[in-house]
Amino acid sequence: MLAAVFFILLFAAVPIALVLALSAAFYIATSGNTVLFSSYVQQLFSSIENYGLLAIPLFMLAGELMNEGGLTRRLINMARILVGGFKGGMAYINLVANMMMASIMGSAASQIAIMSRAMVPEMEKEGYSRPYAAATTAAGGLLSPIIPPSMLFVLFGVLAQVPIADMFIAGIIPGLILSALFFLTITLLGLIYEYPKGKWLSWQEAKHAFVMGLPALCIPILIIGGILTGLVTPTESAALASLGALLVGRFVYKELRFSHLPEVLKRTALNSGMVIILISAAGVFGWVLVYEHIPQNVATWIVQQTADPFIFLLMVIAALLIVGMILDGIAALILVVPILLPVAQAEFGISPYQFGVVVCLTLVMGLLTPPVGAGLFISSAMTGEPPMRIFKSLIPFLLMSLITLVLLSWKPELVLFLLN
């Protein structure tokens, strides 16, 4: 009955936070355990009573301030210095710029929205088809869940009770592997399709772009450097990044005006509010699942199927690809971690860091796959291109993401090397 109500509400287009909260309330009302209602509100609040979750609105604020203050554009110009002259140069620039933004924003959906506005028109001007330009930009959003900082890593660290800073470190090598495979994808596609030849910047242009981009580049260095050296926590680094983006946008580039701040804060509050409400509602739903012993039942079934950690992770990837097509990544993460992480650790000896990186990347792929595919629809809304045409051009990038997931499942050292 709980599953039936959940899917009826889900396919009736009820907001996912309400789906989770109402499903939990329906279970309590129909199971006869009405005493649980006395703890219902407490569970709603306890799910979000965690200091680490403060990093989510702060990283969102940093991204909004960077976009409003012109920092995003300067990072794109810096990417031109590195790869702008290659054949298909704008596609490489798009990817490098997405890597830089992934090290700041932490949210795939926000990154896709911002970079689609910035990159797709530029690629179209140089002769790329709009579906391919939109797909390349959307694929760059897949870097956001694993290149630190990552909103999903913050949430996973809270759920798994592991240091968020260690989760960020665990994502560095997987992020570089995925980026390298995306570069390879662009190169191979360039052999099939006639990409426009890029243009290298002149010495003076490159010097100007580099100097102007340095203040913007300080933001990701501040975030990652502060966390790796242990000088600041991820939440503190997010606060410093927001302050840095404000100061650079206002006093260095002079594009950010204080009159812009109310609108920036409003967008941040709305976006982070939706995430926090979703976390709260999913916490209640997860509480009901645990009360029903669903994690234990799932563990028993999985252990009966295989004793191989690699096969177990492949099964998790296959299941979460389906889950990610239907549920928002944050909601899905909150639901699956309490169920599957204990199984992964106790029965298969899998590190929580390896499990977290694999799960986060798998779930964010759901942003770009039908039928829900929020990232697809964001990209479509930003570019005016039909979602399925974008998805067709995305397929090579999604295949490379799957290859990355298999490698990370097969060789845990790729995740654990820097931690060890």
Mean pLDDT of all residues in 404-412: 95
Statement: residue 120 has pLDDT above 80: yes
The H-or-E segment that residue 420 falls in is none
The per-residue pLDDT for 48 is 79
DSSP 232: S
For the chain, the first-to-last Cα distance in angstroms comes to 46
Reference 345, options 199, 206, 162; nearest CA is 162
Cβ atoms within 10 Å, residue 81: 18
Instruction: Determine the Cα–Cα distance for residues 35 and 26; give it in Å rounded to an integer.
Output: 13
The per-residue pLDDT for 13 is 73
- pLDDT tens for 229-248 read 878 888 888 899 899 999 99
The first and second tokens of residue 227, run together, are 């966390």
The first and second tokens of residue 43, run together, are 């569970």
Burial 198-214 (b: 16+ CB within 10 A, else e): beebeeeebeebeebbe
- pLDDT tens for 200-220 read 888 898 999 999 999 988 888
For residue 183, count CB atoms less than 10 angstroms from its CB and return exposed for 0-12, middle for 13-18, buried for 19 or more. Answer: middle
Instruction: Determine the Cα–Cα distance for residues 189 and 409; give it in Å rounded to an integer.
Output: 27
- pLDDT tens for 132-180 read 899 999 898 888 878 877 888 888 988 898 998 899 899 999 999 999 9
Statement: residue 320 has pLDDT above 90: no
Mean pLDDT of all residues in 40-53: 79
Instruction: Determine the Cα–Cα distance for residues 89 and 197; give it in Å rounded to an integer.
Output: 7
The H-or-E segment that residue 351 falls in is none
Q: What mean pLDDT, rounded, does the chain reach?
A: 85
Statement: residue 295 has pLDDT above 70: no
Statement: residue 371 has pLDDT above 70: no
Mean pLDDT of all residues in 174-202: 86
Ranges of each domain in the chain? 15-26+38-416
Instruction: Determine the Cα–Cα distance for residues 6 and 329; give it in Å rounded to an integer.
Output: 16
Statement: residue 28 has pLDDT above 90: no
For residue 177, count CB atoms less than 10 angstroms from its CB and return exposed for 0-12, middle for 13-18, buried for 19 or more. Answer: middle
